[in-house]
């Protein structure tokens, strides 16, 4: 194992795959000469040259569509959105082209493309730069949606995503780029799409969290641990397809579940996980499933407001105690 | 000559330090030529005699196929939206003949039957798709608006106006990246040019010097909206100047002029010079089957029909004594037969099996669809 | 009461409000000279003239943003999307501007705008023209989302939406435009946003359906009726804000619930309603909440496939019997 | 003269039936003039002497305010993105002086401190917003990128590149609809012009003849991307020809030329003639606080600074003996004082109360937020 930053793990995944496969290229705003707005692609222009590491104008709809066309015609594009907040100007390309062209062509074409970049909240950036997009994208059949929480998963899953023949949205996080973690040095290290990770075993309550929320889930479990309860912590890692079996098996054991998610709550991942759990494990539930999410408002700028806006381990801890009928 | 005919003479970049009070002048020049059958010999265009007959047959096939499709729509064999290309056949036939079909690529909007048949897709697979049958060119999943053929490199058939234009430059990008010498023809309508997607794609194509021809099929209307009610600049090809690429104009009711223009612009694309080709044409039928067409007069429609591309080619063929009325009648009969057979083929083709609803979404075979188990 | 087509009820609502308030205008593709792609705005150009009934180029992003700017500067635009499938090219305007500008300005500006048009499936139109957008839009705080199921609700709710000072998405349906129904002739007829309608009372099971799905819910209830069971049928009418209280009260009575929705299932309205019910009425649930939705795939063209794709009363009936433990 | 200076001479529409083999020529002409302090008398521009001193003070205020803001960012009093306008002050000051502030409207992107102060928003409300305090111009909810003032009719401060351009034409649309004689200045960057939203908005504005001026502040870079790496046509004002509207160029490092150009284009807008004004300017600082700025050389930066708009105005004032060094020093001290006071004001202002997180989302007072009860 080597200790790498999240951004380094992502870079290594791209570099290794691009070394392996000539048809892969990276395109996005500032990915080449600037080394990436968040330095994720640092050094890649030097390594692969301007043919394969390409700066774009600020035309997300244009270069997202370009990527889809290139994928239809035999290449394997990695399209970086500087952040997924900016993917909304390109969402028609993702919804109506990436997710549907294969289907409408009766399977004649495939679209092996990865759209990647930071997603969700990143501090005091205010409403336009703080949107969690996973619930919007995961609702769409035809796409796959991945949101890793640590460098090792990021590397293994991104390599798999790049090799996958279907369109994948790979959701990262500004605030996690600097986070360090052990990453497998196994050559050709890949992780399967659609497999959740049981990060900690326990029987008191199942706590689910992806991406940044995974770390809140761990923190919540620690708080419970101090109180003598072993929570089971699950990181779905993949949002679509969702590994519901792993989740349901856990809930059958713990009989209760709390979901932490930075998204706005309405019709979000937490809603869906709840539906699927109660559909499959109704008789095993001893308490309602509770969620801790961002507030049901746009994201504010002020320090105190944005802190209040985000889900917290304290609230998750309260929710756990509630479903455990401790108070 | 190709380049000469449609290159934009670029002007030196502007500097902001002229001390003179007299305004400097910046000029952008376009050229266009109309090169029509009335005053052309097809040999000048290096078109063989029998190629002309193929062109005639192909245009006739497009027309008869769609006339029949309209009839089948009335009989409710076809549903959803059905957009007919009738009147615009010179564009598709001219383009396909200038193209290296199967090597070069094509992408267009939902009015896609004409180009499909021009590229050599069979009446059978096209009619079966309209019927929503398994033998359709999109296995019954796409319908009229979403024709695809990996074989002929038709990348659709797209329903979102303007949405396919960026995809078109991506196809061209891959041709250049793979250095396979292919180019992409990206067709869209006069209405689609007002979508931001065109602007972004045009700039990207010029910036990256992609082997693409943007073809705006200006058939004068977007549904009920005439060009002058939708575009502040009604000479659509002038949009090219904003991206310092060549812009040109062709007569979409004349198969020779279309062939000439496509040949020239495809040649530019082969040199990685993208360009914008405006083809002025006209659709005879309503926007789709439900269009009352109150936005134009009978007179306008009739006047345009006098300029019919099939009739003009026929006149040329007879005038130049390249064929006889009898031979042309045989072609017409042959086309009718092919179309009738395609209807029978579509009738007899099976509906897609219900399980196939879960096919072609993902390449992944064992994707765990929600609720699938329960069905 | 007068019998009106759905499209006429919508037209009457717009005409009455435009008669009342000079600052309201209607803008969209083919709304003026063409009388509307689905004839909803028929005759309105003649009545109000080109200043207030305005045709646009095919530039959804442009004219959606234009509407938002006009609303910020004192007007009350009604922006028609020919269908909501085409709203995706304009979604950045709706997500980042309509839903957030008021918040980011600290409440200095309001955005009284209505985006309306047909939403969801409409037969054999294939994947690009068959998207239900409500779960995507309803996830966004700052917006209100309405989806009426009949002419009377359509009129009363659209008039309220036009008068509302917040941005409203008003979701109609191609296939319902021709549907006739009794509409109140009460002058100044308005219905409150955020109130569900109990369409039929019963105690056997709660069946929830909005827009077209409401009619499936009724049909399902009829099937149960024949078997001697009284289902309670609820039409939420408003998706955001959701009238969860009415729903929860019903479930407390019936102890079971089936949700019918034409959306793709993942992270959809049905997921959210399920979360909220189990959160508030956990102890009252005698069976898992089940949903009947469109398939988890893009929409196909073929007649037999699209019929199979859509939710059916038969499936809903099966689901009801299941949660009623009848088989 | 306004119109003359920047109108596009429209050409007669193209017809496709020229029988001649000789290509017809289509010309589009632009004019631009640079009208700079080195060779102008401000009286020609009908600028009063004391107005010049106000302009000087305002430009100095923008600069000192942002220098202080940068310092406060270092002290972590300010967080998130902070984009400084330093170097571009001639544009905001020139624009605001040509405008009927409080009656006309303005909308811009996230680099919005300069125009806010130019429109007369107070240093206090601006600094408090950067600090995320309740007395900020957006009540602490918007931050640096999202300044708003109903009073001065600043409609933001917008964070999505290009996303506010359609909103800008909507503001103009309402001015025309209400017949209140107001116009809208819609500012955006050289990077934003490549967004489809510009294309759609420009066409709509020209089609509907809206009272709007599209102002592209070409400061040469979009983050690290120089204009020639992002736009195929680097003369951005030429985009105007695609929408048959006037396009012109101004020197953004010269407050007189900016004032002149804005006056002319605002006059056009008042006649419901939209136009595109490209202002060539330069930002001295990084794109935001985290930008290493490797994409340009120190030499380039220094060379541009020699052309500093504040220094040039100062030179003009002294040269024409409209003021003294002492008087200018007093202004500088006064500005410093105002800025320091704004920092103190921001420090002392309260954070917004937590409950206010649920305010300003909807006008509706009793909106039932999910989970609100539970907090
Ligand atoms: C984004 C989008 N907006 C609106 C529509 C509805 N629509 C379908 S075709 C059409 C007119 C397009 O006209 P044009 O581009 O000139 O093509 P033509 O029909 O003339 O071939 C419209 C508005 C759509 N399909 N997609
Ligand atoms: C749609 C979108 N894409 C990308 C970004 C990230 N971004 C913020 S500013 C910027 C550069 C904009 O440059 P320009 O328009 O020239 O304005 P300037 O910063 O020079 O004032 C980029 C790419 C964004 N905010 N929005
Ligand atoms: Mg057209
Ligand atoms: Mg710039």
Which SS3 state, helix, strand or coil, does residue B123 take? helix
Which of A30, A57, B207, A175 shows the shortest CA–CA distance to D287? A30
The answer to whether the Cβ–Cβ distance between A304 and D352 falls below 8 Å is yes
Using pLDDT thresholds of 50, 70 and 90, give the confidence band for residue A187: confident
Residues D87 and D73: their CA atoms lie apart, in Å, by: 19
Q: What is the mean pLDDT of residues D362-372?
A: 96
Q: What is the mean pLDDT of residues B311-327?
A: 96
Beta strands C290-293 and A238-240 are unpaired
The answer to whether the Cβ–Cβ distance between B197 and A66 falls below 8 Å is no
Using pLDDT thresholds of 50, 70 and 90, give the confidence band for residue A30: very high
Do residues A23 and A75 lie in contact, with contact meaning Cβ atoms separated by under 8 Å? yes
Q: What is the mean pLDDT of residues D81-86?
A: 98
Classify each residue of B173-196 as buried b or exposed e, where b means 16 or more C-beta atoms within 10 Å of its C-beta: bbbbbeeeebbbbbbbbbbbbbbb
Rounded to a whole number of angstroms, the distance between the first and last alpha carbons of chain D is: 62
Secondary structure of C79-129 in the HEC alphabet?
EECCCHHHHHHHHHHHHHHHCCHHHHCCCCCCCCCEEEEECCCCCCCCHHH
Residues B176 and B293: their CA atoms lie apart, in Å, by: 43
DSSP output for D13-46: PP-TT---SSPEEEEEEEEE----GGG--GGGGT
Facing C124 at nearest CB: one of B79, B163, B354: B79
Residues C102 and C73: their CA atoms lie apart, in Å, by: 12
Q: What pLDDT is recorded for position B27?
A: 40
Q: What pLDDT is recorded for position B375?
A: 37
Cis peptide before C241 (omega within 30 of 0): yes
Q: What is the mean pLDDT of residues D126-140?
A: 98
Ligand in nearest proximity to the CA of C61: 1
All partners of chain A with 3 or more CB pairs under 8 angstroms: B, C, D
Of A34, A80, A82, the one to substitute when testing ligand 2's pocket (max ligand atoms within 8 A of C-beta) is A82
Q: Inform me whether the pLDDT recorded for B13 exceeds 70.
A: no
Half-sphere exposure for C54 (CA within 13 Å, toward CB):
21
Which of C315, C325, C311, C323 shows the shortest CA–CA distance to C274? C323
Cis peptide before C86 (omega within 30 of 0): no
Q: What pLDDT is recorded for position D39?
A: 66
**Which residue matches tokens 């949700």?**
C259
Using pLDDT thresholds of 50, 70 and 90, give the confidence band for residue D14: very low
Q: Inform me whether the pLDDT recorded for A236 exceeds 80.
A: yes
pLDDT in tens, B57-71: 999 999 999 999 999
Beta strands C2-5 and C180-183 are antiparallel
Do residues B107 and B164 lie in contact, with contact meaning Cβ atoms separated by under 8 Å? yes
Identify from C111, C128, C271 which residue to disrupt to test chain A contact, counting A C-beta atoms within 10 A and taking the largest count. C271
Q: Inform me whether the pLDDT recorded for D130 exceeds 50.
A: yes
Which SS3 state, helix, strand or coil, does residue B267 take? helix
Q: What is the mean pLDDT of residues B64-90?
A: 98
Q: Inform me whether the pLDDT recorded for D299 exceeds 90.
A: yes
Using pLDDT thresholds of 50, 70 and 90, give the confidence band for residue B106: very high
Facing C92 at nearest CB: one of D160, D208, D359: D160
- The lowest-confidence range among A34-48, B22-36, B336-350 is B22-36
Residues B182 and B168: their CA atoms lie apart, in Å, by: 13
For chain C, which ranges sit under pLDDT 70? none
Neighbours of B225 (CB within 10 A): 25
Residue pairs between chains B and C whose CB atoms are closer than 8 Å: 131
Q: Inform me whether the pLDDT recorded for B20 exceeds 60.
A: no
Which SS3 state, helix, strand or coil, does residue B257 take? helix
C293 shares contact with chain B (CB less than 8 Å):
yes
Going by the DSSP 8-state scheme, the letter that residue D282 receives in this structure is -
Q: What is the mean pLDDT of residues A48-55?
A: 98
Residues C134 and C272: their CA atoms lie apart, in Å, by: 12
DSSP output for A31-75: SSTT--TTSTTTTHHHHH-TTTEEE--S-HHHHHHHHHHHHHTT-
Residues B161 and B157: their CA atoms lie apart, in Å, by: 11
Mean pLDDT, all residues of chain A: 98
Residues B259 and B255: their CA atoms lie apart, in Å, by: 6
ipTM here:
0.97
Residues D119 and D116: their CA atoms lie apart, in Å, by: 5
Identify from B362, B368, B369, B370 which residue to disrupt to test chain A contact, counting A C-beta atoms within 10 A and taking the largest count. B362
Burial class, D340, CB count within 10 angstroms (exposed 0-12 / middle 13-18 / buried 19+): middle
The answer to whether the Cβ–Cβ distance between B107 and A97 falls below 8 Å is no
Q: Inform me whether the pLDDT recorded for D30 exceeds 50.
A: no
> In chain D, what percentage of residues exceed pLDDT 90?
86
Q: What pLDDT is recorded for position B41?
A: 84
Ligand in nearest proximity to the CA of B191: 1
Ligand in nearest proximity to the CA of D194: 2
CA distances from residue C215 to C121, C149, C180, C316 in whole angstroms, order as listed: 14, 8, 13, 12
Tell me the chain D residues in contact with residue B231 when contact means C-beta distances shorter than 8 Å.
203, 207
Residues A205 and A196: their CA atoms lie apart, in Å, by: 17
Q: What pLDDT is recorded for position B373?
A: 65
pLDDT in tens, A68-106: 999 999 999 999 999 999 999 999 999 999 999 999 999
Using pLDDT thresholds of 50, 70 and 90, give the confidence band for residue B36: low
Tell me the chain D residues in contact with residue A62 when contact means C-beta distances shorter than 8 Å.
194, 196
pLDDT in tens, B159-217: 999 999 999 999 999 999 999 999 999 999 999 999 999 999 999 999 999 999 999 99
- What residue's CA is closest to ligand 2, atom 17? D189
pLDDT in tens, B262-300: 999 999 999 999 999 999 999 999 999 989 899 999 999
Which SS3 state, helix, strand or coil, does residue C177 take? coil
Q: What pLDDT is recorded for position A169?
A: 98
Q: What pLDDT is recorded for position B38?
A: 62
Helix ranges (H only) for B131-195 are: 165-178
User: Closest Cα of chain A to B56: distance in Å?
Assistant: 29
Mean pLDDT, all residues of chain B: 91
Burial class, B329, CB count within 10 angstroms (exposed 0-12 / middle 13-18 / buried 19+): exposed
The alpha carbon of B333 is separated from its chain's Cα centroid by a whole number of angstroms, namely 26
Does ligand 1 lie within 6 Å of residue B222's CB atom?
yes
Facing A66 at nearest CB: one of B166, B359, B360: B166
Which SS3 state, helix, strand or coil, does residue D354 take? helix
Across chain C, where does the E strand assignment appear?
2-5, 24-28, 53-55, 76-80, 114-118, 144-146, 168-172, 180-183, 197-200, 205-209, 231-235, 238-240, 257-261, 290-293
Residue pairs between chains A and C whose CB atoms are closer than 8 Å: 143
Q: What is the mean pLDDT of residues B222-240?
A: 97
* Apex D19 CA angle, D18 and D20, nearest 5: 90
Tokens of B243: 């991206």
Phi, psi of C51 (to 5 degrees): -70, -30
Residues B92 and B253: their CA atoms lie apart, in Å, by: 11
Residues B77 and B71: their CA atoms lie apart, in Å, by: 9
Half-sphere exposure for B271 (CA within 13 Å, toward CB):
12
Tokens of C139: 């996830």
Beta strands A231-235 and A197-200 are antiparallel
Q: Which helix (H) or strand (E) holds A290?
A: strand A290-293
The residue from C8, C17, C60, C80 that is catalytic is C60
Q: What pLDDT is recorded for position D37?
A: 55
The residues lining ligand 2, judged by C-beta closer than 6 Å to any ligand atom, are: A 29, 58, 60, 82, 86, 89; D 111, 159-161, 189-192, 219, 221-223, 287
Q: Higher-confidence residue: B23 or D254?
A: D254
């Amino acid at each position: 194992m080597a200790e790498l930053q999240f951004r380094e793990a992502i870079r290594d995944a791209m570099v290794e795959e691009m070394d392996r496969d000539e048809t892969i290229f990276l395109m996005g705003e500032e990915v080449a000469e600037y080394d990436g707005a968040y330095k994720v692609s640092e050094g890649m222009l030097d390594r692969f040259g301007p043919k394969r590491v390409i700066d774009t104008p600020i035309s997300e709809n244009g270069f997202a569509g370009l990527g889809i066309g290139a994928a239809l015609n035999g290449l394997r594009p990695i399209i970086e959105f500087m952040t997924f907040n900016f993917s909304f100007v390109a969402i028609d390309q993702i919804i109506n082209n990436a997710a549907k062209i294969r289907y409408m062509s009766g399977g004649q074409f495939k679209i092996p493309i990865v759209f990647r970049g930071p997603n969700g909240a990143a501090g005091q950036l205010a409403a336009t730069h703080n949107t969690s997009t996973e619930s919007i994208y995961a609702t769409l059949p035809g796409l796959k949606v991945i949101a890793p929480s640590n460098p090792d998963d990021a590397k293994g899953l991104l390599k798999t995503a790049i090799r996958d023949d279907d369109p994948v949205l790979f959701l990262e996080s500004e605030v996690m780029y600097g986070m360090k973690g052990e990453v497998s040095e196994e050559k050709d290290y890949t992780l399967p799409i659609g497999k959740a990770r049981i990060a900690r075993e326990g029987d008191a309550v199942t706590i689910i969290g992806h991406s940044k929320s995974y770390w809140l889930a761990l923190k919540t479990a620690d708080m419970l641990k101090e109180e003598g309860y072993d929570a089971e912590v699950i990181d779905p890692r993949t949002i679509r397809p969702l590994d519901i079996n792993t989740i349901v098996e856990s809930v059958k054991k713990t009989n209760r579940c709390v979901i932490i998610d930075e998204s706005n709550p309405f019709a979000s991942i937490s809603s869906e996980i709840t539906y699927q759990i109660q559909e499959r494990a109704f008789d095993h539930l001893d308490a309602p499933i509770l969620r801790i999410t961002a507030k049901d408002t746009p994201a504010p700028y002020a320090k105190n407001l944005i802190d209040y806006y985000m889900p917290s381990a304290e609230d998750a801890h309260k929710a756990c105690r509630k479903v455990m009928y401790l108070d | 000559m190709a380049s000469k005919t449609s290159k934009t003479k670029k002007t030196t970049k502007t500097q902001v330090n002229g001390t003179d009070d007299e305004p400097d002048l910046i000029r952008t020049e376009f050229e266009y030529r109309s090169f029509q059958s009335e005053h052309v010999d097809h040999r000048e265009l290096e078109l063989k005699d029998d190629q002309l007959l193929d062109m005639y047959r192909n245009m006739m096939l497009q027309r008869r196929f769609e006339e029949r499709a309209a009839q089948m729509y009335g009989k409710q064999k076809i549903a959803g939206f059905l957009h007919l290309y009738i009147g615009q056949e010179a564009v598709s036939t001219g383009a396909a003949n200038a193209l290296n079909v199967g090597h070069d690529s094509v992408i267009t909007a939902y009015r896609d039957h004409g180009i499909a048949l021009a590229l050599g897709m069979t009446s059978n697979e096209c009619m079966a798709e309209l019927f929503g049958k398994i033998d359709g060119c999109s296995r019954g999943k796409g319908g009229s608006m979403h024709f695809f053929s990996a074989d002929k490199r038709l990348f659709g058939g797209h329903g979102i106006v303007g949405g396919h234009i960026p995809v078109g430059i991506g196809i061209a990008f891959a041709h250049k990246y793979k250095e396979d010498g292919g180019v992409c023809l990206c067709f869209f309508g006069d209405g689609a040019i007002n979508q931001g997607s065109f602007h972004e794609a045009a700039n990207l194509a010029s910036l990256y010097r992609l082997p693409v021809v943007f073809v705006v099929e200006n058939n004068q209307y977007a549904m009920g909206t005439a060009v002058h009610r939708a575009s502040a600049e009604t000479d659509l090809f002038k949009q090219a100047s904003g991206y310092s690429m060549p812009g040109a104009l062709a007569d979409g009711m004349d198969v020779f002029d279309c062939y000439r223009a496509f040949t020239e612009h495809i040649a530019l694309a082969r040199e990685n010079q993208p360009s914008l080709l405006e083809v002025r044409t006209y659709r005879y039928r309503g926007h789709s089957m439900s269009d009352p067409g109150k936005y134009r007069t009978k007179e306008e429609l009739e006047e345009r029909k006098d300029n019919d591309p099939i009739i003009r080619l026929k006149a040329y063929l007879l005038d130049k004594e390249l064929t006889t009325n009898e031979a042309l009648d045989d072609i017409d009969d042959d086309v009718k037969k092919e179309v009738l057979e395609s209807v029978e083929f579509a009738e007899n083709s099976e509906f897609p099996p219900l399980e196939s609803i879960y096919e072609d979404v993902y390449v992944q075979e064992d994707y765990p669809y929600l609720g699938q188990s329960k069905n």
